[in-house]
A and B are shown apart, each in its own frame.
Chain A
Amino acid sequence: MFYFFVRRLAVMVPTLFVISVLIFIIIQLPPGDYLSTLVSELEAQGENVDQEKLDFLRQQYGLDQPLLQQYALWLKGMLQGDFGYSFEHNRPVVQVVGDQVLLSVIIAFATILFTWVVAFPIGVYSATHQYSTGDHVLTFVGFLGLATPNFLLALILMYLANVYFGTSIGGLMDPKYLDQPWSWGKLVSILEHLWVPVIVIGTSGTATLIRRLRANLLDELQKAYVVTARAKGLSETRLLLKYPMRVALNPFIADIGNLLPALLSSAAIVSVVLSLPTTGPLLLKALQSQDMYLAGFLLMCLSLLTVIGMFLSDLALAALDPRIRLTGGRQK
C-alpha cells in the first residue's frame, strides 16, 4: 500500500511538468501578445492607446524575448513561488485570484454532491427494474440534463428565476449584499443564485453516473452469490444493500477523477453566462486577452486540482477495493 502511494505520488511530478509545457504552448499559440491584443481591442472600440506605457510594459515583462526564454523564466518563477504579473489587473497574479478559486472549489463540490444525490436513486431503481416504464422515464429525466447545452439552460433558468422569483441577474448574490458582513439574508441570496449553476452543471454529470451505476449493479446482480442469497431467503432490500451496493459504489469514487475536469470546464462556461466570480470567467478573459501569467497560473491550478483529485480517488479506490492494489502489471 505504501509503495503504491509513493509510486503514484512520484508519477505526479513529471505529469505536472509536461502539463506546464503544454499550458505554455497553448497560451502562446494565438498570434500576438497581451499588448497587441489590447491595442486591437481598444482600436476596435474606437479608443486610443498610450503607446509609451505599452512599450514600457513590453520591455519590462520581456514580451519581446524568445519563447523558450519566456518559458524558462515562468517556470523558474513558479518554483520560487512567484507566479507572475497580471497585465489586465495591473498586479501580481496571486492577488487577483484568491476568492475565485475558493468559490470554484465550493461549486465543484456542491455539484458533485448534487450529482450523487440524483444519480444514486435513479441508478439503483433503473438496475433493479430494468426495462420497466419507470426505468425508461427516470433514465430519460437523468439524460435530459446531459442532452441540453449548458449555456442555454443556464440562461433560460436565470431569466426564469428573475421573472418568477425576483432573483437578481447573474453574480453570486444580490448586489446590495456585496460588501456587507455575513447575515441570514446574504446566505439566502447566495443560495438563490447557486441553485441554477449547480443544477445546470450537475445534471450533465448525472447521466454518466447513472449509466455506470446501473451497469455495475446489473453485473453484480447476475452473480452467483446474489442468486444464492436470494434462494436462502434474504429480502430484496437487504440483499441489495449488503453486497452489490459496495461494489456499485466504485464508480462514484473512481469517477471523481473523471468528473473533475469535465466539471471545471462546463462550470467555466456556465459561470461566464451567469457572471459568477469563479475561475472560469477569469480564465476565459485571461485567455482572450492573452494575459499570459494569469492564464498560466489558473490553468496550472485547475490541472493541479484535477491531478490531485484523480490521485485521491485512486487512493480511495485502492483503499476500498483490494483487487486494485494487489494486481499490478502483466500477469504472466
Chain B
Amino acid sequence: MSDHRGPAPTPLGHYVSDAPFDPSETEEVTAEQERLYTSSGWRLMWLKLKRHRLAVYSGYVLIALYGSILISEFLAPYSLTHRHTDFIYAPPQGIHLFHDGKLAAPFTYGLKYRLNMENLRREYTTDETKRYPVRFLCRGDVYDFWGLFEASLHLLCPGEGGTLFLFGTDRLGRDLFSRIIYGARISLTVGLFGIIFSMVLGIIFGGLAGYYGGIVDSVVQRLIEVIRSFPELPLWMALSAALPVTWSPILIYFGITLILGLIDWTGLARAVRSKFLALREEDFTAAAELMGARPSRIIARHLVPNFTSHLIASATLSIPSMILGETALSFLGLGLRPPVTSWGVLLSEAQSINAVALYPWLMIPGLAVVVVVLTFNFLGDGLRDAADPYH
C-alpha cells in the first residue's frame, strides 16, 4: 500500500513520480557513454567480442600462428629436408633446465642409437654425459627466405654436435617440429583461398535467390539441394582425380582449394538467402527502390553491409572444415602428396597401425590440426555472437 510520503495515489494505485519534468530537456551523458552510443557497428561488435574471453584468446593464438607462416624458416630449428640418417624414428627430446639439481641454460642430452637386430627396432637412449646447450638466434641450416635471399638465422638451433628433436623424427630422420612449422604454411592458407571462392559463390547465388525470389529462388534452391545431397567423398575423389598431373604442386594446391570451396558454398548461400529474404522486407530497402536505385546498388550498398558481420562469422566457421577436408583428401591419397608438406600429408604418413603403436609422436600434427580448428571455432562463435548488435 502506498505510504503517504509520496505523491497522491491515483485512482488505479500506480506510482507516478511528481518530480519536475521538462520534455524538451535532453539527457546528460558522460563522455564515455557518448562514445559508446555513437560508436560504429564494428566497434560495438568488438566490445561485445571482448566479453567472450575464449574467443579473444583464440584470436591471439590464430594471429600468432598465421604470423608464424611469414617466418617459418626462421622459427624452425632445421630446414624442411634436412635428414639425419643416424636418427631415424627418434622419439621427442625434452629441453632440460636442471642438471645435477642446478639451474642451467636450456640444453638437450645426447642421443645414443642401437639397432635391435631381434625385432629390427631402433632403440634410442639418452646419454646424460653429453649436454648440448640450445642456441638462440643462431646460424643453422641455410634457407631461401621467400625466394629473395639466402639466410641462415634461426630462432632455435641444436647445440654444437647435438640434436634438437622436440617432436621426434620421422622415417627419414627429419625433425617433425620443423616440418609442422613448415606445414602450417599450406594447411593454414588452404582454407583461406577456398573460403574466398566459396564466399563469392555463396553471395552471388544466395543474393540472387534471396532478392528476386520466385523462379530464381526455386532454381537456386534445387541446385543447392542437389549439391548438398551429393556425398562429399566421391565428389572429392573424382574431382581430385580430374586434376591434371602435369600441374605443378602450387597449381594442384589451388585446385584443391577450389574443389573444397566448390562444395562448401551451399551453406553460405542458404544463410545469405534467408538474410536477404528478411532484409528485403525492411523499410530502407523499399525506400531505396522507390528512389530508383538499381538492384545491384541496393544489394551492394544497403543489404550486404548489413550482414557482413554474419558473413565473417560464417566464414570463420567454415575454414576449419576446409582444413579438415584437406587432411581427409591427403589421407585418401588425393590432393597434396609428398614432397609437398602439409599437416594432412604428415598425418597420412602417420596413418598406420605401425605409427600408432610404435611411433606415436608422428601423430602430433593431428594435435596441431585440433588446436587450429578449435581456435577457429571459438573465434567464429564469438564473432557470431557479437555480430548481431541487438543482443
Q: Chain A: residues with CB nearer than 8 A to chain B?
A: 11, 14-15, 18-19, 22, 26-27, 29-30, 131, 136, 139-140, 143-144, 146-152, 155-156, 159, 169, 207, 211, 215, 218, 222, 257-258, 261-262, 264-265, 268-269, 280, 283-284, 287-288, 295, 299, 302-303, 306-307, 310, 329-331
Contact = CB atoms under 8 A, between A and B. Distances in A.
A313 to B, nearest CB: 12
Given A148-B366, A152-B363, A329 B226 contact: no
B169 interface: no
A106 B222 CA distance: 28
A148 B377 CA distance: 13
B239 to A, nearest CB: 8
Interface string B51-80: 111100000000000000000000000000
A264 B230 CA distance: 10
Contacts of B281: 331
B234 A287 contact: yes
Given A152-B366, A283-B234, A261 B381 contact: no
Top 5 closest A-B pairs, CB basis? A147-B373, A26-B238, A306-B229, A30-B241, A330-B213
Contacts of B377: 143, 146-147, 207
A29 to B, nearest CB: 5
Given A149-B327, A159-B353, A331-B281, A287 B238 contact: yes
A262 B384 CA distance: 23
Given A149-B366, A159-B357, 8 more contacts: A29-B238, A29-B239, A147-B377, A150-B328, A152-B350, A155-B356, A284-B233, A299-B234
B228 interface: yes
A299 B374 contact: no
A269 B391 contact: no
A262 B356 CA distance: 26
A222 B231 contact: no
A131 B235 contact: no
Most buried by A among B51, B281, B324: B324
A11 B222 contact: yes
Contact of B320 (A147, A159, A299, A329): A147
Interface in B326-356: 327-328, 331-332, 347, 350-351, 353, 356
A331 to B, nearest CB: 6
Contacts of B373: 143, 146-147
B23 interface: no
20 contacts: A14-B222, A26-B239, A29-B239, A131-B52, A136-B54, A143-B377, A147-B373, A147-B374, A148-B370, A149-B369, A152-B347, A156-B363, A169-B353, A258-B228, A261-B232, A264-B231, A295-B234, A306-B230, A310-B229, A330-B213
A261 B229 contact: yes
Contacts of B123: none
A27 B366 contact: no
Contacts of B353: 155, 159, 169
Contact of B230 (A19, A159, A284, A330): A19
B378 to A, nearest CB: 8
Interface centre among A152, A159, A215 (most CB of B within 10 A): A152
Contacts of A169: 353
A232 to B, nearest CB: 18
Contacts of A262: 232
